[in-house]
Amino acid sequence: MPARIAPPTPPLDALTTARRSAAPPPRSFADVINLWPSAGELAAVLDVEAVTVRAWRRRGIPAGYWSAVASAARVTGRPVDERLLAELASLRKGRTHG
C-alpha cells in the first residue's frame, strides 16, 4: 500500500491571503486600519506619522489618502478598495451624534 503523500504546503503569504479574503469586509475605518499589524506599519507605507493613522480610527481616513490605502491593501492582499472607503465615509456621514 503506498504511503499517503500530503499535498504541498502553500507559502505563508498565500495562506495569509486566503485567510484574509475569507474574512468579512471591514465595517469601519478602524477595521480597515486594523488589517495592518500596527498603525505604524500603515503609516510607514503612507509616509505619515503613526499618531495620524491612529487618529483616523476615530475621525475616518481622509479622502485624499483613499487611493494610497487601497493600493497598499491591494499589494498585500487586504480586502480594501476605494469604493469600500467611500461607502464607509457615506455611512459615517449618515450617523447622528448625541
How many domains is the chain built from? 1
* 8-state DSSP, 38: -
Asked if the structure places residue 74 within a domain, the reply is: yes
Q: Does 80 or 13 have the greater pLDDT score? A: 80
Q: How far is it, in rounded angstroms, from Cα 19 to Cα 58?
A: 26
> What type of residue sits at position 76?
T
**pLDDT greater than 70 at residue 5:** no
Using one digit for the tens of pLDDT, what is the confidence trace for 37-64?
Answer: 999 999 999 999 999 999 999 999 999 9
Q: How far is it, in rounded angstroms, from Cα 5 to Cα 55?
A: 50
Asked if the structure places residue 42 within a domain, the reply is: yes
For the domain that residue 70 is a member of, what is the CATH number? 1.10.260
Element (DSSP H or E) covering residue 76: helix 66-76
Domain that holds residue 84: 25-94
pLDDT at 92: 80
Asked if the structure places residue 72 within a domain, the reply is: yes
- Whether the full predicted model's pTM is greater than 0.85, yes or no, is no
Q: Is the dihedral of CA 66, 53, 79, 18 positive or negative?
A: positive
Cell output for 79: 480586502
